[in-house]
Structure formats: C-alpha cells, structure tokens
Amino acid sequence: MDKYNMNFYLAIDIGASSGRHIVGWREDGKIKTKEVYRFPNGVQERNGHLVWDVDNLLAHVQAGITAAKAGFPGIVSLSIDTWGVDYVLLRGDEEVRPVYAYRDGRTEAVIPKVHEILPFSELYAKTGCQFQPFNSVYQLYADKLTGRLDGVTDFLMIPEYLLWKLCGVKSKEYTNATTTGMVSAETGEFDPEIISALGLPQIFPRLQRPGTVLGEYDGIKCVLCATHDTASAVEGIPMVGNSPYISSGTWSLLGVKTPKPITNAASRAANYSNEGGVGYNRYQKNIMGMWLVNELQKELCMGLGYAGIVNGARESVCDALIDANAPEFLSPKSMKAAFDAATDGQLVGIGDYFRCAYRSLAESYAKALAELEANTGKQYDKLYIVGGGAKNEFLNHLTAKATGKQVIALPIEATALGNLKIQMEADQ
C-alpha cells in the first residue's frame, strides 16, 4: 500500500457506549479498513437527568481526526454516524444545555398529552415510526412544555451537530430524521401537520440525502453518510439478495429492506418501524440488545471477561425467560433487580442471569422475525447478523435454533463500512 498515492476516507462511528475512527481505502477491488482511534462514551447523570457530554464527544472526534491524519496523509473526506433520536437545540449558534439522552425519563409524563393531540394510530399512519418512549417527537414536546423551545432557531441531531462544529454548516440528514417520529412515510420530509398540531417551532427544513458534501475541516471534506448508525450498518452488509438482518450492539435492530414503508394496522400492532435507507425503506424493530448483558456484567461480575460470561451461560440449565423489550429493562437502577422481579427469583448463579438474557434475546428475535414475515408477506431462509453481537457464537446458536433460519454472522464493522461506502461513492 502506497499511503502517498491513495485516497483515504475516515468513518467516525459513535455508539452509546463507545466511538471509533476507522480509515478506509479501496485496494484490489475491496474496501480495506484500519481503526486509528477509539474512545468511551456513555450517559451521565446530572441534576437527576441522563445527559450526553457533547463537548467531550467533539474533543474525541477532533483528537481522532488528528490521529487519522498522522497515520494516513491524503484523507479525502470524513463522515459521522451515531445513534438516533437525540439532538441539540440551538438559539442562534448557542447550544441549549443540557443535551438529554434518550434513556432519560422526562418523556413519560408527556406521551399521553401528545397522544391526546395526535393518537398513536394517527402518528403511525403518517410516519410508520414505531412507538418508543424516547422518540424525538415526545422529547420535543417535553421541551415545549418546559420552555426549552423558547427562542430556539435550530435542531441538530447528534451527528449533524458534530459536523456543524467541524465545518460550520448545519444539515438535516434523512435517515436519522426518520427516527424522530416526525417524517412523513409518504413524502420522506418532515410532516408539517405533526409539527403544526404539536405547536413546535418551524425549525425542520427539507432533508438532505446521504452523499451530500457539507464543507471542510482541516482540509478534509465533511460528507453526510447515512448518519443513523443502523442505516449505515445496513448499507455495509455484504448481503446476497435481500434477507433480514440484525445489527447487534447496545440495541439489536432487526429488519429487512423494503421498497416502501408498511404502515398498516398489523404493522402498528407489531410495533415495527419504517426508517430511511439509502434508496430503500428499512422495515425494522428495536430490540433491547446487548444493553441487558452489559448492565448485568457491570453489576454482577465486572472482572469477568466475555468468554467467562458466555461459558457461564452455556453451563447454566436455567430456563427462565424475560420480555427483553419490556420497559422495566430500559433504564433500571438495578438490572439484576429487574431480572429478579421478572423471573420470580428463579435466577441463582451468575450464569443463570446471562443464559436468561441470551435466550430471551434469541426468542425476541424469533418473535420479531415471524412478525416481519407476516407483515411483508415473504418468507426468508437466511438471517444476517453484524455488529459486536455477531461475535457471540452462543447467542448466534440460540438465534438459529429459535428462528429456524440459517444465521450468517459477520463480525465486521458494518456501520463503518457503510459510512465509508457512501463517502467513496460521493467522491466519484
């Protein structure tokens, strides 16, 4: 590899628990990658609320860019993807603080008020966005009721905010916007009727598509990828044909590509979401994911590594199950206590807790996949799994057993690959 005569691209992929900078380039017809920087992320508790430290995120983003440039001269462009729904409000160029995290409970009281104005059946028919208590539409209404929207001139989702801080250009990217619960399934733009009905300010302009060049930072082009990490992940899966996928991380996102959104009553009852993809619709469902395992590990066995956790789960014979998507597991003070309450004290050893978590995830995947097949009217024989969870052979085995599908586990940085792919195509 001749570093001085090649084009390099930088994917900055930030999840709820960590972020990474990955340099990519084309070599022998394939995308090659190298991780050059990694940093921790996580919610912080301040004044009784869960918030993001966006200043720290920005500092790590910039430090990682410096590290990338040091190792790879000639970086052509960069892009940033993160989780969905969360955002930064601006008054002019001043941030409204704090920046709330989606696991904060501030929306609980306002959800019924939103549904009084716009019943969920109506919201779903308009947007096709699944119900989650943290959807941006509920967060924004909570902001309205507390006066946080007074004088607000802009709304930037987390990757858009970070890109603005880098290149000075404010953007509104389509794939991430579809996680807000405010984008029309029909037009692919913010729905003016929802915004008007809820009395939100007019800070939701036309959406930009992945591949848009925004500006520059330190001589590097800043490009919009599919800024919702799952949208980039789906774009990065080396899939033969069209099969269901699970993007397995803090959340497990199970879905399939469809030509257009599915917004009927059966889809609403199954709480499936329609979110933006790169030229297609992502018909998918949020499932709690590795959050369950990670939180149990923190509480029960911080010193026990991944192999020890899996071995303990394998050796356990406990058959207890939980509903992995139940609200009591979203942000409990004690994950162990939440498991204990849901299983009537059937879990004794550490292995029991992890076996219960893994089996419950596999069963939730099977249920969601059956709903997906019923609602799309198609049967599938394969299931692709990408992301950190794809490395877990035990969970993959349980998933294959529960779903009856051939599980193709690809322990690759699919999100970074999708991010890089979009940048490379924009550079053509």
Residue numbers annotated as active site? 229
C-alpha to C-alpha distances, 77 to 20, 33, 65, 221, 328, nearest whole angstrom? 16, 15, 11, 4, 42
Q: How many CB atoms lie within 10 A of CB 197?
A: 14
| Among 81, 82, 75, 62, CA closest to 34 | 75
* Region label for 404, one of left (φ > 0), alpha (ψ between -120 and 50) or beta (otherwise): left
Helix (H, G, I), strand (E, B) or coil at 18: strand
DSSP designation for 268: H
Q: How many CA atoms lie within 13 A of 387 on its CB side?
A: 29
CA angle 90, 95, 96 (to 5 degrees): 85
- At residue 268, φ and ψ (nearest 5 deg) are -65, -45
Helices (H), 18-157: 54-71, 111-117, 120-127, 136-145
DSSP designation for 349: S
Residues 171, 208 contacting (CB under 8 angstroms): yes
